[in-house]
Structure 1
Amino acid sequence: MTNSTTQFNAAIISKVAQYIYDHSEEAINVEALAEYAGFSKYHFNRLFFAATGFQLGEFIKRQKLEKAMFLLKSGHTNILEVAMSIGYDSPSSFTRAFKTNFACTPSDIQNGKSPLNVRAGNLPPKKLAEDSMLEPQWRELPDTTVLGFYGTGFNDQSFSKVAGQLYKRLSELAKPLDFSELQPIGVAIDNPWVGEQTQSQFFAGFLNGLTQEQQLEHYTLQGGRYACFCHQGPHSTMWQTISKVYAHWVLPNQIRLKDQHIVQCYLNNPADTDAEKLSTELYFAVESDK
């Protein structure tokens, strides 16, 4: 990792930590936090994880608790007031969270005990392997309406289960076209790492073989410049390739991604292809000035 990349990632941590400190009494608004840090709200959680190794929600909780520790060490004796200053409404829930993160209680800190845990804000950004840099293929895509269905459900690190159900329904409607003619498209509408995973939305559609008369739902793929990366292997491990793109391409090159979904284009049929040989193109919408 170059010094400039290290500094860039450290700057992300500092900005986020400062925002959390300044808004510690509130429920943190991820959209406002992303705007403050200068990133797309759709991509921000994944980018933050790539830069720090922390899920954003985990980091927010940790930073708030560290502010509480500072207040306790500074002589604040009322634990309820300290708890409320970081958004907790009861001493018991605050104490449980504090003990989980620091292996000691707020009272222990008041009595002079020091926690063993390293401060979240001081943890170094996740290191990148020197030989893991990625290069995309660049594509210009037109505005495209994709017909299909929306569904909810994310489990085992993947939308694979709900996607399989949706594509099965669509295939019945699209007969007699085969897989290669249909050109399946998938889109994770919600970031499952931000909200309730079981309610996270996924869109499954075909570019061909379906008609408006079938009263289907639709997704609009916005035209523009896209960086295309290929995921090789099971669809359930696609999140690993996406994480690598953020860590080894977006952050090192300080790429400005548009606030648009990652579009998945499936190149072969999982019904007759070994999972390890599946190929999926991943499209990231990029600002045109890069």
Structure 2
Amino acid sequence: MNRIMQESVIKSLLDWIEENLHLPLSVDYVASKAGYSKWHLQRIFKDHTGITLGDYTRGRRLSECATILKITKRDIYDIALEYGFDSQPHFCRAFKNQFGVTPRAFRKSEILETRQFCAPIKYNSEPSLEANIVTLEKMQLVGKKKEIRSEVGDNEYFNFNSRMKSWDDHFPHLVDKPASLIGLVDYISASNSKREYAFQYTMATVPSDANMPADNGELITIEKGKYVKFQYDGAMDGMQDFLYKIYSVYLSKNKLIRRKGEDIEIYTPMMSSIKNHGINCQYYVPII
């Protein structure tokens, strides 16, 4: 098999793994699905990706488990079984080996420790995200908060349609459209469901641009802090993939820890392009 054919096989395999993380994904099982001997598949996988097949599948499954632990209140045992671990003790040992803490401790932590996440390998020529580490000064804002809930698996926290609907609903309360709009995203786990997660989204402006009745906004303070700053200019339907890359690829690859706080979205000029499905956004993630 020449190298071009190998690349095609590995690319298809990586896509298949992402779609089947809930399966046990032993090397024997993956090889049988790929139609190659496990020795040959392991050799070309390591040659093309730099990581062994077993380490990659285990790392991806545990990283998905870590995300679900953080954003839901699902039982640890249920998560372990769904992702192919035969027992909770087996899952807890594997999880601690990768993340250095137990699943329970990971869930309770106020930070999102991404340094041990295994990022999905995107076997293509897509450009990598560019970002800068910055410090934002203390900000005073006026905004309106909304909690958005979704079933696990819907990726609604990376789906931009819910944000746009919130802004559309909010616009009638603005007498004059401000020069810039600020979105605050606080990822929180849903309080009454093991299957749901929720995030709190705040539509805000600086006080001088508020122009809204007092009962439609509240004062919000964002303390001075350290952030990693991204820039997005493009179609609205590409924002979901942009956010996914930040959390699933960039933070882990760059060994960054997301601290407690809110992601900040600053749209400038104003989202005049909402109806035209275009976005110009500076996106800030709070880090240690």
Superposition TM-score, scaled by structure 1 size: 0.50
Larger Rg: 1
Choose between structure 1 and 2: higher strand proportion: 2
Task: Calculate the TM-score normalised by the size of structure 2.
Answer: 0.50
